[in-house]
Structure 1
């Protein structure tokens, strides 16, 4: 009997993976990987991170810190060394923690995947909330811990045509990704997608050298190798969760509009370790079982920003007191965002 039940769970997980591969790989993940690979390889990290220096006005440093996750394409693990680097080189704790919270939350893969699987309302809410909350968290951390003001002398700017070309390439790849959500007919979809792909290939050869294209493909392949196995494991266990976890338990703890639902969702996500994108199928499975969309947003915000291993590393870099303050602010911010989304959007 036990063996039959385990086999049933295994088949449920396998079916979840099969459905995922059929529905989401060709028109969702493959373009998203190329998009993220282009961003990671063709945008210069140094040209972004230089805005965290002491010579940058705060309104610039906070803005760049809040949105640079899209340009740097970092995940919850790769953001930590970048955060440690800018923090130890003298970046203020405000912009540094703004970057720490926002960067993995607005990873372009994560936003696109959230919108595709959980709905465009949650995808947009995740992006907007991550940017706004990151700035608020950074300002609060600066207010508490920055003891003296610094003199700022101006900023450096992006330069060269390479960055403008990369923006155009970004828009082409984004169009390839979004068009299937607008056009449902395979005939009309092919008439639009094929020219878009052809234009992307043409401009890739026109704008970039062979070395840059090679770097783009290598970065894309690196993301595929790093993320896909973990993502499939996440989808597999999400399928098992649907079978294993009673729906009434999910509804009881994270299905309502009570404060406890949002608190449990935020704390649980903060303690769990989500590899890049794996939070989406797991949260999708919980929503199928009855989790509210407000608590789902709380999990989407707290999950990428924190995990138990991340908490240890963050506290080591910043110090225990600052680390605990940051962790508390993230959980609280995720809760408040979920509550606002649950009450005023739905």
Structure 2
């Protein structure tokens, strides 16, 4: 009984610490940005450039950074990937988006930086972009003779209602949101309040009430979709921190070497991490002695692939392509972690 109580105490302690330290300053602004991206940036403009006939420089560049633009997470990237590939998108840009998307969403980057440090948050985004492009290019070369099941290309672009707003208004609006996120996390109250005033001015001058309601509704959708899983993940991380001996972590992933990074990548590929739950779980492992290199490897591999995710990817791509993709994810995540751990 005492053992169970200690596990529960560890879970609740981690939950209270996390909620008090990160939710208001980090996660709440990120939810509002994700909602704004979802409402005011047309995703079709991005996915339009994933077609196999598009210039590779354009398609791979957009695919590697579109996770930030689209605010995708690990629970939404799979159906988007399926839609891109089945509608004629090249396999290279499609898997580039699949690997990079969840790792560089505004929620993933801001939460990783806020909880684990700006170095690992920035490294997560940079390595996800670089290795996602490499994986996409390798997949495109290996399976260059294969064709998607359908040849329907994404060629037409529907009218973009958001395009009627002048660009400077959109830039000021998103700039104020990003400034709120940055300076709230940095606890710079004067600049945070200034950014908040700019945001309120934007809402008053540039948007009508129906648009504001739509933004708030989409933000709330993200909260309902992600926050319950995140709370559960934080609680589990606290339990694991209480349950797992520190010497167990230090023995296997406590140093930066190829084997420890490979173990972390394999663990990420086998386990299932609901949206953003990988961050508090990795934080628990870091507190127990996990080195930063394996921590990054786990952060990169976890959202990109899992056993449930493999079943979906296998259904879309087939066994050969799915296994190749997963192997490349594990290798690239291990290499990224090892490189990051050196510096």
TM over 0.5: yes
| 1:160 pairs with one of 155, 160, 163 | 163
3-state SS in 2 of match to 1:24? helix
For residue 256 of structure 2, what is the aligned residue in structure 1? 257
User: What is the CA–CA distance in structure 2 between the aligned matches of 1:310 and 1:5, rounded to whole Å?
Assistant: 34
- Could you say which residue in structure 2 is the equivalent of 1:289? 288
Q: TM-score, normalised by structure 1?
A: 0.92
* Partner of residue 215, structure 1: 214
- Deviation of 1:326 after TM superposition, in Å, equals 0.4
Deviation, 1:211, is: 2.6
Contact 1:51 1:155 survives alignment (8 Å): no
- 2:183 is equivalent to residue 179 of structure 1: yes
- TM-aligned CA deviation for residue 210 of structure 1: 2.6
Pick closer, same or farther for the CA change 1:148–1:253 going to 2, 3 Å.
closer
Q: Does the aligned pair in 1 maintain the 2:240–2:284 contact within 8 Å?
A: yes
Q: Matches of 1:251 and 1:190 in 2, distance apart?
A: 39
The offset of 1:161, in angstroms, is 5.3
Question: In structure 1, what is the Cα distance between the partners aligned to 2:53 and 2:329?
Answer: 28
Which residue among 127, 130, 133 is the counterpart of 1:129? Answer: 127
Report the Cα distance in structure 2 between the residues aligned to 1:307 and 1:148, rounded to whole angstroms: 25
Q: Deviations over 1:92-122 (max 9, x none)?
A: 1111111111111111101000000100110
> Match for residue 201 of structure 1?
200
Instruction: State how 1:86-105 maps to structure 2 within 5 Å.
Output: 86-105=84-103
Q: Which residue of 2 aligns with 1:242?
A: 241
Aligned to 2:307: 308
Distance 1:133 1:219 in 2: 31
Residue 56 (1) aligns with residue 60 (2): no
Indicate the residue corresponding to 2:27 in structure 1.
29
Aligned equivalents of 1:148, 1:5: Cα separation in 2: 55
Conserved in 1, the CA contact under 8 Å of 2:65 and 2:100? yes
Give the 3-state SS of the residue equivalent to 1:18 in structure 2.
Answer: helix
Assess if the C-alpha contact under 8 Å between 1:262 and 1:335 holds in 2. yes
Task: Report how many residues are paired.
Answer: 335
SS in 2 for 1:41: helix
CA distance in 1, matches of 2:146, 2:254: 45
Counterpart CA distance in 1 for 2:57 and 2:164 is 25
- Give the Cα separation in 1 of the matches to 2:15 and 2:320: 42
Once residues 258 and 65 of structure 1 are traced to their aligned partners in structure 2, the CA distance between those partners, rounded to angstroms, is: 30
Deviation at 1:215, TM superposition (A): 1.7
Gaps of at least 5 residues in structure 2 are: none
Matched residues in 2 for 1:71 and 1:7: separation? Answer: 43
1:318 is displaced (CA, Å) by: 0.8
Q: What residue ranges of structure 1 are gaps of 5+ in the alignment?
A: none
Measured after TM superposition, the shift of residue 181 of structure 1 is 4.1
Distance in structure 2 (CA, Å) of the matches to 1:163 and 1:222:
27
- Aligned to 1:256, the other structure's residue is in SS state coil
Counting only pairs closer than 5 Å after superposition, residues 3-82 of structure 1 correspond to structure 2 as: 3-82=1-80
